[in-house]
Structure 1
Amino acid sequence: MNSKHQASNSKWDFNFIKSSKYFYIFSLAITLAGIISLSVFGLNYGVDFRSGSNVDISVSKVVSQAEVEKVVNDAKLDQEANITAGSDRVNIRFPEVLTDAQVESLQTTFNSQIDKNASYEINTVDAEMAKELELNALLAVIVASVGIVIYVTIRFEWRFAVSAVVALLHDAFLVISVFSILRLEVNLTFIVAILTIIGFSINDTIVIFDRIRENLRFAKKQTHDDLADLVNKSISQTMTRSLGTVFTVFIAAFALLVLGSESIRMFSLAMVIGLLFGAYSSIFIASPLWLALRNKKKPSAAKPSKATN
């Protein structure tokens, strides 16, 4: 039976390869927007990646932002603080490192004006530590990508490895672009989210690649058209599993985003965005890219007619 007929019997009857150019254009458009945003605005680094002090305060009642602003002013802290309030947890981020005297003044004033039983968690990062954390975060992403290249090359071939890494970098960069465009805070939990996204994305990509490799064993011809049909068939055969896995994790990440605490809000948001991009790139970017590397478009070979018995 012709591979085109086999593909048409799949539950997901869609020509992924034929439509790949539109998805390439979509990804390039977001990438370009991200490059412009990063060039103009950069990233909104949290205290983890720049010097300063971050004060988390747990209180027994709901506190407004105006109340916290008054505390900061009365404590004679002249720094321009970034305040997040409106619940029973308050976050105050200072662009410079607080001295012991300033911390004591803040706590005394907060206890006297708002809640004497408040508990404090203070994280301070100096300039040297911030640079080290930034370097280590970049190194973690690079090491993960290199490890994936080696693994996929050994298990499959270099074309699969290149396609997988391009898809991973695509996912990571699009999440970074969204955070840059929306001016969302980038901290260590964001890096954890990026590494987690890479893990889920490569898992989906490997599932599709494994099916492509399996179908290649039974492919009698490997012209561009035949391989395109084979890739379409492989994606269709694994689509339900891929979407099911992503949807399950997406529900958990979305629940954390809506119901979780403020401290993991950016992690949850990065996960939600990254899971969507990861599923998208595994299907619409990685597999078509492998086909482009494997067999550049050529006129299909004429198929000899078989005499029927």
Structure 2
Amino acid sequence: MLIISILVSFLTAVWGSRVLLGLLVKSNALNNKPRVFSVKPSAIHNLHDGISTYDLKTPFDRFDFVKNHRLFLWIFTGIVVVGIVVLSVFKLNLGIDFASGTRAEITSNSPLTEEQVKKDLDDINMPSDNIVFQGKDNKTAVVSYKGALSQDEIAKFKTHFEKEYKHEPSISTVTPTVGKELAKNGLYALAIASVLIVIYIAIRFEFYMGIAAILSLLFDAFTIFIFFSIFQIEVDLTFIAAVLTVIGYSINDTIVTADRIRDIGRKMGRYKTKEDVAFAVNHGLRQTFTRSINTILTVIFTVVALVAFGSESILSFSIALLVGLISSVFSSIFMAMQLWYVFKSHQVNKKGPIATVKKKKRRNPSQPMV
């Protein structure tokens, strides 16, 4: 489903919006109406004025993002250290998907209430504090137990609820072996996604950018783990889906900023000193900062609605998504680009000036270069 939504969004957001905007421009209906595109008339320049991309003014020109890069990186390092301590002390509250257990699904012809289900469970001496309702009218309740139920307990459970609600409960058990296998597969998915992202960015941009991006992505994932450990929110399969979704969003935001920095670097021709690298990073962040904030706010509004009004069965997914998205804003701006600045500055200091535009190879030695 996630893959389908990504493909559909690519068609609508990239291709569809471009076609629609092209039609609007060609219609001449928006001539002399730049504010429709959120552009002030004073911000429009003639192509013949010779104004460069990094000469464009932004509301964040007074901010020097690179100046305090050490402070930013130490803050992120501190969060990681604290997170390791938190995870060591509190651990993760693993759901039955990972720690083994039994899940029972109760179905009724009329809406169920938590008090009603708890009373039924007390009547058969099988209480549970983990009751989640599904469906629009709460006609289905999912009861979870940590640990496998015996055959006698399963039979007693089925007999009671089938008699009360005229539907036989559906009961499934996850063994410790299956739980470990699911946890291992989840970690494999996270590792494979990380490696593929590094490879893609290394090819599309450069190796240092790939390393910086993946470290910020892992920080976002680690932040979700810390949050769930502190508040002891149950970790289930939807948690893994949320982590992978956050990684996908965060890398998208990082790539947009990296692309702008690369474009500025190409216009500069080469990085002669670390000040040149800082110039490119600062201007890239300033010119994409508004876009990053607007994008994250739009997504956060949607996720907050999911947390507040969504089904309880996807609450852990929604919370993980919200925490990861908030973390990704700070990590992509104040961690990924700062790390790249550190890596690139070290490379410049060690090797000297670095060209940002590759020279075209000549087919014939006598042929002049273009």
After superposition, give the CA deviation of every residue in 1:203-242 in whole Å (9 maximum; x if it has no partner): 0001111111111011156211222122111011112222
Q: Which residue of 1 aligns with 2:34?
A: none
Amino acid at match of 2:153: Q
One-letter amino acid of the structure 2 residue matched with residue 204 of structure 1:
D
Q: 1:12 aligns with which of 40, 48, 60?
A: 60
1: distance between equivalents of 2:330 and 2:316? 21
Q: Which residue of 2 aligns with 1:288?
A: 338
Q: CA deviation at 1:37?
A: 1.4
Indicate the residue corresponding to 1:260 in structure 2: 310
Mapped partners of 1:252, 1:287: distance in 2: 27
Please name the residue that 2:359 is paired with: none
Q: Give the Å deviation of 1:107.
A: 3.7
The answer to whether the Cα contact below 8 Å between 1:212 and 1:234 also exists between their aligned partners in 2 is yes
Q: TM-score, normalised by structure 1?
A: 0.85
Q: What amino acid does structure 2 have at the position aligned with 1:195?
A: L
Residue aligning to 1:248: 298
Equivalent residues of 2:107, 2:165 under 8 A apart: no
The change in CA–CA distance for 1:248 and 1:118 in structure 2 (over 3 A counts) is farther
Q: CA deviation at 1:145?
A: 0.3
1:168 aligns with 2:217: yes
Q: How far off its partner does 1:270 sit?
A: 0.5
**3-state DSSP class of the match of 1:122?**
strand
Alpha-carbon distance in structure 1 between the residues aligned to 2:161 and 2:280: 66
1:62 to partner: Cα distance: 4.8
2:120 counterpart residue number: 71
User: In 1, Cα distance between the equivalents of 2:59 and 2:312?
Assistant: 41
Deviations 1:87-133 (A, max 9, x none): 93544221122245423422443455xx6256745332111111110
Q: Radius of gyration: which is bigger?
A: 2
Summarize the Cα distance change of 1:16–1:58 in structure 2 as closer, same or farther, 3 Å threshold.
farther
TM-score (norm 2): 0.72
Say which structure, 1 or 2, has more relative contact order (CA 8 Å, 6+ apart): 1
Residue segments in structure 1 that go unaligned for 5+ positions in a row: 302-309
The residue number in structure 2 matching 1:124 is: 173
Query: Which structure 2 residues correspond to residues 73-152 of structure 1 after superposition, within 5 A?
Result: 73-77=122-126, 81-84=128-131, 88=138, 90-110=141-161, 116=165, 120-152=169-201
Structure 1 CA distance for aligned equivalents of residues 326 and 114 of structure 2: 34
Which secondary structure state, in structure 1, belongs to the residue aligned with residue 321 of structure 2? helix
How far, CA to CA, are the matches of 1:240 and 1:120 in structure 2?
Answer: 52
Cα contact 2:250–2:328 (8 A) shared by 1? yes
SS in 1 for 2:130: strand
Count, aligned residues: 292
- Judged with a 3 Å threshold, the aligned counterparts in structure 2 of structure 1 residues 189 and 70 are, in CA distance, closer, same or farther, namely same
Is residue 2:298 matched to residue 1:238?
A: no
Distance 1:117 1:228, change over 3 A: farther
Q: 1 CA distance for matches of 2:283 and 2:263?
A: 11
1:305 aligns with none
Q: Output the CA distance in 2 between the equivalents of 1:118 and 1:284.
A: 55
Correspondent of 1:54 among 90, 93, 103: 103
| Counterpart for residue 306 of structure 1 | none
- Distance, in Å, in 1 between the alignment partners of 2:65 and 2:166 is 60
SS at match of 1:207: helix
Q: 1:192 aligns with which of 225, 230, 241?
A: 241
Secondary structure at the counterpart of residue 217 of structure 1: helix
Query: Given that residues 92 and 229 in structure 2 are in contact (C-alpha distance below 8 angstroms), is that contact kept between their aligned partners in structure 1?
Result: yes
Distance (whole Å) between structure 2 residues aligned to residue 210 and residue 159 of structure 1: 14
Which is further off, 247-256 or 173-182? 247-256
| Structure 1 residues 119 and 205: CA distance shift in structure 2, 3 A | farther
2: CA distance, partners of 1:10 / 1:283: 16
Q: Name the CA shift for 1:68/1:150 in 2 (closer, same or farther; >3 Å).
A: same
CA distance in 2, matches of 1:83, 1:118: 21
Structure 2 letter corresponding to 1:24: L
Instruction: Give, in whole Å, the separation in 1 of the partners of 2:218 and 2:175.
Output: 30
Question: Any conservation in 2 of the 1:164–1:286 contact (CA below 8 Å)?
Answer: yes
Question: Does the residue aligned with 1:55 lie in a helix, a strand or coil?
Answer: strand
Structure 1 partner of 2:87: 38
Identity of aligned residues (%): 38
Q: Is the 8 A contact 1:74 1:109 kept in 2?
A: no
For 2:132 and 2:198, locate their aligned partners in 1 and report how far apart those are by CA, in whole Å: 44
